[in-house]
Amino acid sequence: MKRTFVDAGVLITAARGVAELSEAAMRVLSDPNRIFLSSLFVRLEVQPKPAYFKLTPELLFYESFFATV
């Protein structure tokens, strides 16, 4: 299994990026041959804005990702 550190840019692109880029990011994030790593700092970078603006689908996407890392 590949260890893959996911930064904020990949998560933001997957959640709300342009369709082509979002699909590419999702392909990486859905790869079953990877173990994903991240940090509390990445979480703090991506979650406040969708929480403040009540962007529930985006917030749920981030929460589900961080539940698995």
Could you read off the pLDDT of 14-32 as tens digits, one per residue?
Answer: 999 899 999 999 999 999 9
Provide the number of structural domains found in the chain: 1
* Domain with 63 in it: 2-68
Residue 53 main-chain phi, psi, to 5 deg: -90, 10
pLDDT in tens, the chain (69 residues): 999 999 999 999 999 989 999 999 999 999 999 999 999 999 999 999 999 999 999 999 999 999 999
Residue 37 main-chain phi, psi, to 5 deg: -125, 150
Given this model, what pLDDT does residue 10 score?
A: 96
Torsion over CA: 42, 55, 23, 18 (sign): negative
